[in-house]
Amino acid sequence: MRVAVIGGGGREHAIIKSLKKSPKVSEIYALPGNGGIAEDAECVAIGAKDLDKITEWCVKEHMDYVVVAPDDPLVLGLVDMLNEKGIPCFGPTKAAAIIEGSKAFSKDLMKKYGIPTAGYETFDDPAKVMEYIKAEGKYPVVIKADGLALGKGVLICENEQQAADGVKEIMLDKKFGASGNHVVVEEFLTGPEVSVLSFTDGKVVKPMVSSMDHKRANDHDTGLNTGGMGTVAPNPYYTPAIAAECMEKIFLPTIKAMNAEGCPFKGCLYFGLMLTPDGPKVIEYNCRFGDPETQVVLPLLEGDLLHIMQACTNGTLADTEVKFSDGAAACVILASGGYPVSYEKGKPISGLTDGQLAGEENITVYHSGTAIQEDGTLVTNGGRVLGVTATADRLTAAITQAYAAAEKISFEKLHKRTDIGFRALKAIAEKE
């Protein structure tokens, strides 16, 4: 089969690496891909948001299946456009992708169908936001841009001044563009966070191994919010008992709610959860694989990813085995200095051969923001540059090995956190 993967980051690289293992896959194309993905797929210079060109190309090149990985083309309706041309896809329709495309929609959905989440209100008037926050008088308070904001449109405000600055930033200065026309103000929840990606065909939900993201730019969860600085899997806080509770109270009710609203969800539904003293609650939904969660989840998948994806598309997931290994994985993100604000591109990357670390069997380097120059030099081309993932029997070993491998790669102004997975190790130690 000829398969196209839409996108050009670390998540897409992990999906491509996993699809390559499928005996059904004969050729893989990445639109647009990146410097490292070029080692595993044929890159086509069409941007992920250029829906007309993508559709035209997929028809012309007779793609048998398309995986739409990023949020933007999903929310803009790429799956619908490809389906109209008779090309099957992995990913939700435009109507279903709204679960991530609008936080107001997802919060209202949870309220309507009794799915546990933080208390909230939605606003389109900056003055009213501040009136509400002052009247509530509870801090910290969470302010979210309603639309897509590359994982950065969430502000946790410790006092009234921070809240006022946040509202100005999102609604008046339009830091996230039209995504900030509406905001959701939420109560601040406490407890460990868990990311659960799940396969669904609109009827059944098969969760993947749980993971733990590290959003903040610097050690000890300080600094600005980013797209994610590293991940580990499994998440030790996510016990079998909590998993069963989530299936009963969150996962299946969400799928049923989407069906009841006339927008059945097929593809990967990402549940961002907080394990509060009152039980698990939804922080956010994403309508696709998370980044960098995918870089620790898919390396632990046992089985044929394409087969599972097709089962989601065809509605046969109930009859399809989805199995993950009992091991662990850790991913350390190597970022450009200055990320997530301003950073330089075009820095030569040393330490890699054909995009990978030579001789490291249990290490995979996923390329997020890399490019190949005309002379063949691999250079940085984004905020998050590489994700170094190690798999091992135990999480301690995976973390140690990921960091040892990361030390072998260098580029000017490289920035990484030094504490990825430490919170998870602490949780494991407390259990023992």
Place 59 in a pLDDT band, splitting at 50, 70 and 90.
very high
| Between 171 and 305, the higher pLDDT residue | 305
Using one digit for the tens of pLDDT, what is the confidence trace for 98-151?
999 998 899 999 999 999 999 888 888 888 889 899 988 889 999 988 777 666
pLDDT of residue 184: 86
pLDDT of residue 151: 60
Q: Which domains does the chain have, with CATH numbers?
A: 2-92 (3.40.50.20), 119-187 (3.30.1490.20), 193-431 (3.30.470.20)
Tokens of 114: 């009794």
Tokens of 420: 């990825």
Q: If you count DSSP H runs as helices and E runs as strands, how many of each does the chain have, helices first?
A: 14, 25
pLDDT at residue 403 greater than cutoff 90 = yes
Which contiguous run of DSSP H or E holds residue 415?
strand 414-415
pLDDT of residue 122: 87
Determine contact, residues 69/288, Cβ cutoff 8 Å.
yes
**DSSP character at residue 205:** E
Give the residue among 205, 194, 269, 206 at the shortest CA–CA distance from 232: 194
Using one digit for the tens of pLDDT, what is the confidence trace for 270-295?
999 999 999 999 999 999 999 999 99
Predicted TM-score (pTM) of the model is 0.93
- Cα end-to-end span (Å), the chain: 47
pLDDT at residue 152 greater than cutoff 70 = no
Place 263 in a pLDDT band, splitting at 50, 70 and 90.
very high
Using one digit for the tens of pLDDT, what is the confidence trace for 13-45?
999 999 999 999 999 999 999 999 999 999 999
Give the residue among 113, 116, 111 at the shortest CA–CA distance from 279: 116
Which contiguous run of DSSP H or E holds residue 107?
helix 103-113
What are the phi and psi torsion angles at 415 (to 5°)? -130, 130
pLDDT of residue 301: 98
Using one digit for the tens of pLDDT, what is the confidence trace for 304-361?
999 999 999 999 999 999 999 999 999 999 999 999 999 999 999 999 999 999 999 8
The residue behind tokens 């199995």 is 323
Using one digit for the tens of pLDDT, what is the confidence trace for 210-257?
999 999 999 999 998 899 999 999 999 999 999 999 999 999 999 999
